Structure 1
Amino acid sequence: MSLSQIGTAESVATAGVAGVTNSEDASAVITNAAGLTGLDDSSMVLGGQLIDVSSQFEGLGRETTQSSGQQFVPHLSYAQRLNDDWVAGIALNSPGGLGVAYSNGIGGRPANIVKQNKISMLSVTASAAYQVNERLSLGASVVAQYAAVDASVLGRSMTGAEVAPTFALSAQYKLNDITRIGVNYQHGSEHDIEFDESFADVQGTAINWPSTFDVGIDHQLTERLNIMANAKWQSWSDYDANYQDTYSAGIAAGYQMGEWLWQAGFSIDTSPVDAEYRDVVLPLDKQWRLGIGAQKTLASGNKIGIAYQYQNLGEAEIYATELQLLRPVGEYSENRVHFITLSYQF
């Protein structure tokens, strides 16, 4: 599962829409490095989000299994203006992952072969931004992406991890004092993970993380109200030959009430895979997200924020032409994620 939520109240409250046009704090290191030129001096953001995943598979042959899991994902970003033209920053966040345990095996079979499956990912991003002129800024990032697999198969643990490099390029352009456009390209990564111990001649697995291109706009509609919109492409066809690229769109708004900034957002994604190729390891379908949150500016000028988001992963129907362990015929009566995030800016 690819995360548009980077562990800040703003990213969760706006359903990921605000990231590509962010130019107000250090978390832009992750979402659009060019936005760092909006900083006057330095900025640091600390955050964390609790991710609660739950799904219920209902098989045509009465197979059933519930998968659930919780993960805590950290966020740390820092940026510093170097001179009139340059700003640099560094950040730690999770770009995605998924971890669940199964009540009746991965496919709802009595054999209960796979009891849990987890993919963990962390990225360390170093970014630099250059102010070309008063309207245009450019940014670039280098990323070290860590991926780990931990699965329980017939009571045996299959684990492995690898670090792979990747990069990002970005730009922001001010149309005027109240309208800003942002674009960000994040290149994909390839992880060839070898397990610590092979099992049934399976010695490892490959994770081909998709590339992402994100474009968005932020417009200050009134003195208190700003609106945001974005569109995104992800190369999920690189993840697996049977997958297809996805497209998403989102809209969000922020309303300033004294010391409080209230935000809300909604976004949708197309499905990366058709029912005939979908499996119970990664039951992704078309998705939608709804977020809400608030940030308070303290007397010190620092900001504290809290946000909640509901993400629906779709019915994820599975229809295999032949009976397979990972592709039992059925669908998900429940397939969702809850996000709860707390962040602090100073």
Structure 2
Amino acid sequence: MNDLRVFSRIRRTLCLATVILLALVTSARAAGLLLYETGAPDLGTASAGRAAMAGDASTAAANPAGMTQLDRSQLLTASGALLPFTNFDVASQTTTSGGGGGNAGVFSPIGGFFYVYRLSEKLRLGVALDSNFAFTGNYGKTWVGRYYVTYESILSGTVNPSVAYEVNDWLSVGAGVSFSVARLKFQSKVNNALPRAQDGGLAFESWDEAFGGNAGILLKPIAKLRIGLTYQSPEDYKFGFRPHLTNLGPILNRIRNRIGGSKINIPMEVPQQVMLSGLYEVTPYWSLMGNVGWQNWSAFGEFPVGISTAKQRTVEANLHFSDTCQIAIGQQLRIGEKWLWSAGFAYDSSTVSKNNRLPILPIDRQLRYGTGIQYQINKDITAGAAWEFMDAGPAPYSARRGPLAGTLQGHYSTNYLNFVGVNVIWKF
């Protein structure tokens, strides 16, 4: 009988250790969403034509080669907000009690600073400060999926200096390096597996930095056509943290020091991406544009997890992510001499199938609808505003992670992200 009790306690301990490790792994990897939106004018085209437009200083980030198309030095500032609406509908196979969590979306600021300096007729220098990797969700402590996640956030900021050179009338090239800083924060509840026992808690926070680079070319085979091709390198973060465990019951408390005192090292690779864009001036007042793109999310899903204890251990993990593609179309119409109206649509495929989707990343295929307006105040200053609506899909999943976390099944009745931004361009 005593042996059975010991075995039962060991089994529960191993189960908790597994649940905690999986929570750490999946949250650190899947809490991010790679975004195109910075509040710059291309928000109005849903990023369509992003690598070919070269219409303002934000091309320093979108395609550095496009800086050669700016006839003067230029400064662009953009600011705005990400307003998400994410509501989870609980399905019948869910085994834990609780509610749907309400709107888990959390307001996040967006924005950027872009500067291009005209060093000579053929040479340009540029710098971009922006963020393209962000997501925050807060489901609350009584959510039915609280043993998977209650709060998650990853925010990043990047500085990207670059240089561009006009080789001849039809070819320009550009490249830059980037330095990024990111913060990862996560919270969840822990099931103490005892009748009437309160839930325990799991939390961690980590900062890290990463280096990367981008390069691009801009072609003008004919006067009315521009073709842009860009490459963004991967950026490798290595988040290290010691999990903070609270209010564990008497059975699970035995491993508090062992788990809580161990340092978890989880690498996270922001995917490399390639984008091909085109812009065609149908008339002097109306242009059509589009993109095809690829992001290497399969590399993001495979990674080693390091556990720093007396004996260093490494566990290989795979979240079964897939590479994604993007297709976008858009237009810009000049109304009179001072107004420019933009509109666009983009489709991004899903990073993960229904069978492999996680509660941490409630993202399905993505549909983006954008529109924006710019007004030329005078020959030096232009102001603009844009709005983009993103439908992130129903993102259904059925997550099963042992008896403590239980089964969580459902989909999102609303899974929408609204991006609003204003921008000012100053030429000098």
Ranges in structure 1 where 5+ consecutive residues have no aligned partner: none
| Alignment partner, residue 382 of structure 2 | 303
Show the 5 A alignment for 1:294-333.
294-320=373-399, 325=405, 328-333=408-413
Pairs within 5 Å for 1:248-327 = 248-258=326-336, 259-320=338-399, 325=405
How far apart, CA to CA, are the structure 2 residues paired with 1:76 and 1:326?
Answer: 45
Q: Which residue of 2 aligns with 1:5?
A: 37
**Equivalent in 205, 209, 219 of residue 173 of structure 1:** 219
Q: Structure 2: how far apart are the matches of 1:128 and 1:253? A: 28
3-state SS, counterpart of residue 19 of structure 1:
coil
3-state DSSP of counterpart to 1:20: coil
Cα distance 1:222–1:95, how it changes in 2: closer, same or farther (>3 A)?
Answer: same
Q: What SS does the aligned partner of 1:40 have?
A: coil
Instruction: Mark the structure with the bigger radius of gyration.
Output: 2
Residue in structure 2 matching 1:26, options 43, 50, 57 = 57
* Structure 2 counterpart SS, 1:221: strand
Change (3 A) 1:30 1:331: same
CA gap 1:196/1:304 in 2 versus in 1, 3 angstroms: farther
Q: Percent of counterpart pairs with the same letter?
A: 25
Q: In the alignment, does 2:112 pair up with 1:75? A: yes
More helix by share: 2
Answer whether contact 2:39 2:386 (CA < 8 A) is retained.
Answer: no
Q: Judge conservation of contact 2:228–2:277 (CA < 8 Å) in 1.
A: yes
TM-fit CA distance, 1:156? 6.0
- How many pairs does the alignment contain? 343
Q: How far is 1:49 from its partner?
A: 2.0
Deviation at 1:195, TM superposition (A): 2.5
Post-superposition offset of 1:126? 0.7
Does residue 1:143 correspond to 2:178, yes or no? yes
The CA RMSD over aligned residues, in Å, is: 2.0
Which stretch shifts more, 89-98 or 54-63?
54-63
> Would the aligned equivalents of 2:161 and 2:176 in 1 still touch at CA under 8 Å?
yes
In structure 2, give the amino acid aligned to 1:344.
V
Question: 2:228 is matched with which residue: 182, 186, 205?
Answer: 182
Q: Which residue of 1 aligns with 2:187?
A: 152
Q: One-letter code of the match for 1:342?
A: V
Q: Deviations over 1:78-115 (max 9, x none)?
A: 1101122211101100112101211355x624x56743
Q: Provide TM-score, normalisation by structure 2.
A: 0.76
Note closer, same or farther for the CA distance 1:196–1:320 as it changes in structure 2 (3 Å cut).
closer
Match of 2:237 in 1: 191
CA deviation after TM superposition for structure 1 residue 313, in Å: 0.4
What is the distance in 2 between the residues matched to 1:29 and 1:247?
Answer: 23
Give the corresponding residue for 1:129: 164
Structure 2 portions without partners, runs of 5+: 1-32, 190-200, 246-258, 303-319
1:90 alignment partner in structure 2: 127
1:166-208 superposed Cα distances (whole Å, 9 cap, x missing partner): 1111000002111100000001111111226655456343321
Q: Contact 1:93–1:124 at 8 Å: present in 2 too?
A: yes
Partner of 2:73: 42
Counterpart Cα distance in 2 of 1:265 and 1:179: 18
Which has the larger share of strand?
1
CA distance in 2 between counterparts of 1:287 and 1:71 reads 19
Q: Does 2:178 match 1:161?
A: no
Letter in 2 for 1:203: I
TM-score, structure 1 length as denominator? 0.93
How far apart, CA to CA, are the structure 2 residues paired with 1:322 and 1:205?
Answer: 20
**What residue identity is the alignment partner of 2:61?**
I
What one-letter code is carried by the residue in structure 2 that aligns with 1:291?
Answer: G
| Equivalent AA in structure 1 for residue 356 of structure 2 | Y
1:206 matches 2:267: yes
Mapped partners of 1:307, 1:79: distance in 2: 22
